[in-house]
């Protein structure tokens, strides 16, 4: 309950009181009826409102003078509506605080997710690197086991020529495995021209690997019986160089002497030139003049 003081006599105060009364009195009606059309405030309506306000002002003044103060009782529905509005404001504030907490949690989770993704990427990279290293180690172990396994004595193809061709091709791309393939030819086809050539090629691989002692053994096996094959002259020169590399100069010069005696006449000019260079490099004595082949006489 609200009592207006007796000093409230001004026009503006009455207008305010009238507005409160109008709002309180019309709230229930508005809630129960359909919304009215908006009022068009023209000069006539404003003048009428002014007259009503003046009449209300006189009535309030008369009641106050008569000792009957104006008492304004708020509408119960308005009070209830105000309570609901206040409750909605509190709930809205709670929801806003909840949303702020959720946003903060989302930001924290997003940051943690980014960290997890970075850790996963780093871990994935490390796992891939480890897998690559493991595969490399496995391949190296398998290759090492293959290279250290006993040399097989059976032919891979069943033909000496095909075995030698395949071994030579493999030696050009993978010298270590080619070395084993050539040894396989030697073991599977002993005392054959293919085994002798395989020894010659094996000696070349040993020289490339820096194993001059092994090259001497391979070249010596290839030249056993002094074959007359096309590769024999060059192999003899390689034997002399390998002997000299293992500090066996005397035997190297002996090999060059055998070249002069057995292969110089039939060797190509390039091979003979190479023999001269090898002899000079090793420091062997000059050989006796090689016999010159007599051209055949023309018939008749």
Encode pLDDT of 95-151 as tens digits.
999 999 999 999 999 988 888 888 888 888 888 898 888 888 888 888 787 777 888
Full DSSP string of 117-157: HHHHHHHHHHHHHHHHHHHHHHHHHHHHHHHHSPPP-S-SS
pLDDT tens sequence across 45-62: 888 888 888 888 888 888
Please tell me the predicted confidence (pLDDT) of residue 235.
Answer: 95
Average of per-residue pLDDT values in the chain: 82
Residue 9 pLDDT greater than 50, yes or no: no
pLDDT tens sequence across 186-244: 999 998 999 999 999 999 999 999 999 999 999 999 999 999 999 999 999 999 999 99
Domains delineated in the chain: 2-36+44-74 (no CATH), 160-282 (1.25.40.10)
Name the residue among 250, 258, 255 with its Cα closest to residue 283: 250
What mean pLDDT is predicted for residues 31-40?
A: 62
- Indicate the pTM of the whole model: 0.55
* Cβ–Cβ under 8 Å, residues 179 and 202: yes
Residue 14 pLDDT greater than 90, yes or no: no
Longest Cα pair distance anywhere in the chain, in angstroms?
Answer: 178
């Amino acid at each position: 309950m609200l009592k207006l003081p007796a000093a409230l006599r001004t026009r503006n105060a009455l207008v305010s009181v009238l507005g409160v009364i109008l709002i309180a009195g019309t709230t229930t009606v508005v809630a129960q009826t359909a919304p009215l059309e908006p009022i068009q405030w023209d000069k006539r309506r404003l003048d009428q409102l002014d007259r009503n306000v003046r009449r209300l002002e006189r009535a309030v003044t008369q009641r106050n003078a008569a000792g009957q103060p104006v008492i304004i009782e708020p509408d119960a529905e308005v009070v209830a509506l105000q309570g609901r509005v206040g409750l909605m404001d509190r709930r809205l504030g709670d929801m806003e605080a909840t949303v702020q907490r959720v946003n903060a949690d989302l930001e924290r989770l997003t940051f943690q997710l980014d960290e997890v993704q970075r850790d996963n990427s780093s871990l994935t990279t490390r796992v891939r690197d480890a897998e690559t290293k493991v595969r490399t180690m496995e391949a190296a172990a398998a290759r090492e086991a293959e290279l250290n396994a006993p040399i097989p004595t059976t032919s891979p193809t069943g033909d000496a020529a095909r075995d030698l061709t395949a071994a030579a091709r493999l030696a050009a791309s993978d010298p270590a495995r080619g070395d084993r393939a050539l040894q396989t030819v030697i073991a599977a086809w002993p005392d054959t021209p293919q085994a002798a050539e395989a020894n010659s090629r094996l000696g070349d691989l040993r020289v490339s690997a820096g194993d001059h002692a092994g090259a001497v053994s391979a070249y010596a096996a290839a030249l056993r019986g002094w074959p007359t094959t096309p590769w024999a002259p060059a192999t003899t020169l390689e034997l002399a160089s390998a002997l000299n590399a293992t500090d066996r100069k005397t035997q190297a010069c002996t090999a060059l002497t055998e070249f002069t005696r057995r292969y110089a006449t039939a060797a190509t000019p390039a091979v003979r030139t190479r023999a001269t260079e090898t002899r000079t490099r090793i420091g062997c004595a000059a050989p006796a003049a090689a016999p010159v082949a007599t051209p055949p006489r023309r018939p008749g």
